[in-house]
Structure 1
């Protein structure tokens, strides 16, 4: 056996990624497999859990080694399915952005208005569970029990994969349980509200803190994947939290901004932040305290939607030469915003002159940077510590110009972690083996680059106009 190592698995939307990491933080192996989704219409987004299991087995078989001491798994927040008592899937998985259960939201709020009037969103897991119970039961395996609401279990995507690795159903973690309605303050499921919704208490899994041991890799999976039999499988977190661990942003005042298809902010606070608008929600910090943040509907996904087929790398080089422009685009590709403000009717808009695609590209970059700044300002008004530094992760970090622009707009240094993958964050969590994740990340995470801000007066003025337009449209409340 060589140096101890740990595997992190990221069950993403488009692929499964696995990484094996040494105690030094060095990456010893990587693997990935694609995933496909079903998109019958604009509101539907589902995947077949059996595809996850095959992809996870394949990636693990590439990175496995006799030295592996543990595995942890992250997945998209709010993705959920129903399984039988053995952990076998009974339904497709409704993905994080599947909106077909939106009509269930008023019923959920009515079951516990004080709890959920602002703290539940239509694409969260709990509405999907009600929808699955009502719509998937007829003619499916759910109906074979006679009682359609008995005999099945709720599983988030990471739970389903962990159950396959261990050979038995597992507990979920506080991170994945958040959007299913778990009360992080009381440390319990709100069973009285579930009773009013007609959801059986026994359908909900036990809940543990991230990093808790869920079980051991079974003999069958060991033979299939090469991961040693008896390797501990640790409770993971959602992908946004996993990226935050990979960035090492785990102390109060440090923040991680994940800019991919959408923009997600994650930070640290000693006390729970209370946001009456519902835009900000908090996960439990594995070491104590809270991880506040939110997810916007704006992000880099707008570039591919607005400029299909464009050479974005070429635009990035040209935008650097162009510099800041006197225009901006608020780029959401679908109706509604959820962070840093909640505005179900919000739509995209443009400010200033945008004569060509290059200017539209630059306008999107500036608009997202303004939303990012507004998000941090909102968090500070709720009681978060002032922003000291921000680590940038997500697919958009490939744009060096955008990284510097975001530093300029935020007015604080931004750090670029050497290995910002959510899978890497899960390897760190597994390596903590129930101890301090913050201390483990401090040893393993490396920073590749730090960008200092260069204040731009024209950006400051334009940002004020951008926020004023949001307010004029009634989006800021």
Structure 2
């Protein structure tokens, strides 16, 4: 008797600290998942790098775990997602030239300014790409490599985004998708294609970047050599996939206008879907192509959201060994809302939104003798979420209204975070059910769409909904209205301080 097989789709999410592989069945349910970690390297202050070979080894191990422990699975398609904006430089033999430069690397401030000048100013840049030049974007990294490591740059034949290195190892093909390409600073987001004019103005060869596909299009097939390494049959279709920040929003079921997604991970991501490409007035958000044709994605990324909690844990662990994040959350719970007037500017690694400034740094305001470690912990959480509120208000100023707010992410598992977010925004917060696999789940669904299991994203996402919600407490929400005004005043004071010190001033 033949063994029973289950058709599944693999989603591979190449994150900043680990790779996650999920297998999703034909009912859009996660059957199994596996995770492997890899190290970060910071050879100089502000630099963040990884070895793409570490990515591949971890991915191969995670895929092998899935297929070895569940031999009944028949993998019908593979979708890829992962950290955006990174630079993977390959030579003409497809070998890695140097360590990958990641999204949260801040070495390219001079190159970012140069891009704006060479293009002809911010307005012209927005006309070409509909996005600002940010330190995290790929374009600045390419110029940095050209200017600061010319010997390495001379070897570069192609540049890939992180997840697309996995695609290259799987299929031998250089390709990317429209959502990930949108975060390079070289992409015409309105017209969903590379901006030839950007390449010309920056003096870069157009062939440096890969061919672009829509997210569910098949880009290639698993090669024989790689299939053996992964324990899979050769010839499995590999679809384009999507950048993790965009696909995370999609996996929450947000594909239409009117709903806002807030993901509280290392960074805080506030995002909405749009059925047209909105003008990026003020250049304070990121506009990307969505994961289906005719859809776009608007995103504000706060670089230090859940990371604030992790930093607090590390800082306090020097006083108490074996301190866990949950311990710091309990400490924060013991303080009153508002933290006795203590405010925290949560810019530990610079900021992208609402203040695009890689040189911005964190600060405490109002600290006095009555404050305790509990107040400091709670103020850290409040500062991160007050920053999210400012991004929400920025979206409204761009004409992007939301009648629902959905949330997911690791920090959202703590009731204090959920309650504080609801009170800070003064709105009901709904928690996503069915998309717990995050961007990896979305990548698997794209694979299913690409091979014909589902018609489109709306069809594939029927299993995703909300399972619980938190409503604001009117009294505490009113308190946070006042706290938010103080937070805004604090930021104005921080901008004045930076200007007085001769530092780059924040966007007002």
TM-score (norm 2): 0.85
Per-residue deviation at 1:85?
A: 4.0
Per-residue deviation at 1:132?
A: 2.3
C-alpha offsets along residues 79-132 of structure 1, whole Å, 9 cap, x if unaligned?
111213454322221111122232222332233124437711122101111222
Structure 1 CA distance for aligned equivalents of residues 366 and 485 of structure 2: 13
Structure 2 CA distance for aligned equivalents of residues 163 and 80 of structure 1: 14
Per-residue deviation at 1:44?
A: 1.5
Task: Say whether 1:100 aligns with 2:107.
Answer: yes
Structure 2 CA distance for aligned equivalents of residues 286 and 341 of structure 1: 27
Larger mean CA deviation between 445-454 and 365-374 belongs to 445-454
Structure 1 CA distance for aligned equivalents of residues 404 and 413 of structure 2: 19
Structure 2 CA distance for aligned equivalents of residues 71 and 328 of structure 1: 48
Structure 2 CA distance for aligned equivalents of residues 272 and 72 of structure 1: 25
SS in 2 for 1:268: strand
SS in 1 for 2:283: coil
Task: Say whether 1:121 aligns with 2:121.
Answer: no
Say if 1:47 and 1:123 are closer, same or farther in 2 by CA, change over 3 A.
Answer: same
Aligned to 1:378: 394
SS in 2 for 1:429: helix
Contact 2:251–2:461, Cα closer than 8 Å, also in 1: no
Structure 2 CA distance for aligned equivalents of residues 97 and 33 of structure 1: 21
Aligned to 1:404: 419
SS in 1 for 2:298: strand
SS in 2 for 1:40: coil
Per-residue deviation at 1:436?
A: 5.2
Say if 1:93 and 1:448 are closer, same or farther in 2 by CA, change over 3 A.
Answer: same
Structure 2 CA distance for aligned equivalents of residues 12 and 42 of structure 1: 22
Structure 1 CA distance for aligned equivalents of residues 380 and 10 of structure 2: 36
Superposed, 1:162-181 pairs within 5 Å as 162-166=167-171, 168-180=172-184, 181=186
SS in 2 for 1:243: helix
Aligned pair partner of 2:364 in 332, 342, 350: 350
TM-score (norm 1): 0.91
Structure 2 CA distance for aligned equivalents of residues 441 and 464 of structure 1: 42
Aligned pair partner of 2:145 in 123, 132, 135: 132
Contact 1:432–1:440, Cα closer than 8 Å, also in 2: no
Say if 1:271 and 1:134 are closer, same or farther in 2 by CA, change over 3 A.
Answer: same
Structure 2 CA distance for aligned equivalents of residues 164 and 342 of structure 1: 34
Structure 1 CA distance for aligned equivalents of residues 484 and 150 of structure 2: 50
Aligned to 2:488: 467
Larger mean CA deviation between 56-65 and 413-422 belongs to 413-422
Contact 1:248–1:441, Cα closer than 8 Å, also in 2: no
Structure 2 CA distance for aligned equivalents of residues 230 and 302 of structure 1: 44
Structure 1 CA distance for aligned equivalents of residues 208 and 391 of structure 2: 36
Structure 2 CA distance for aligned equivalents of residues 227 and 5 of structure 1: 12
Task: Say whether 1:293 aligns with 2:308.
Answer: no
Contact 2:346–2:384, Cα closer than 8 Å, also in 1: no
Aligned pair partner of 1:329 in 343, 365, 371: 343
Structure 1 CA distance for aligned equivalents of residues 364 and 482 of structure 2: 16
Task: Say whether 1:340 aligns with 2:357.
Answer: no
Per-residue deviation at 1:327?
A: 2.9
Contact 2:304–2:349, Cα closer than 8 Å, also in 1: no
Larger mean CA deviation between 56-65 and 98-107 belongs to 98-107
SS in 1 for 2:6: coil
Task: Say whether 1:361 aligns with 2:377.
Answer: yes
Aligned to 1:447: 466
Task: Say whether 1:251 aligns with 2:256.
Answer: yes
Task: Say whether 1:68 aligns with 2:75.
Answer: yes
Contact 1:172–1:207, Cα closer than 8 Å, also in 2: yes
Per-residue deviation at 1:322?
A: 4.1
Structure 2 CA distance for aligned equivalents of residues 254 and 227 of structure 1: 39
Give me the CA root mean square deviation: 2.3
Contact 2:427–2:471, Cα closer than 8 Å, also in 1: yes
Per-residue deviation at 1:58?
A: 0.9
Structure 2 CA distance for aligned equivalents of residues 239 and 375 of structure 1: 19
Aligned to 2:242: 237
Aligned to 2:309: 303
Aligned to 1:432: 449
Structure 2 CA distance for aligned equivalents of residues 220 and 249 of structure 1: 38
Contact 2:18–2:38, Cα closer than 8 Å, also in 1: yes
Aligned to 1:77: 84
- Divergent runs of 4+, >6 A: none
Task: Say whether 1:110 aligns with 2:127.
Answer: no
C-alpha offsets along residues 7-63 of structure 1, whole Å, 9 cap, x if unaligned?
111111111110111122322111111111221122211111111111111111111
Q: Unpaired runs of 5+ in structure 1?
A: none
Aligned pair partner of 1:184 in 189, 200, 216: 189
Structure 1 CA distance for aligned equivalents of residues 101 and 235 of structure 2: 31
Contact 1:46–1:92, Cα closer than 8 Å, also in 2: yes
Structure 2 CA distance for aligned equivalents of residues 46 and 476 of structure 1: 28
Say if 1:420 and 1:414 are closer, same or farther in 2 by CA, change over 3 A.
Answer: farther
Per-residue deviation at 1:232?
A: 0.8
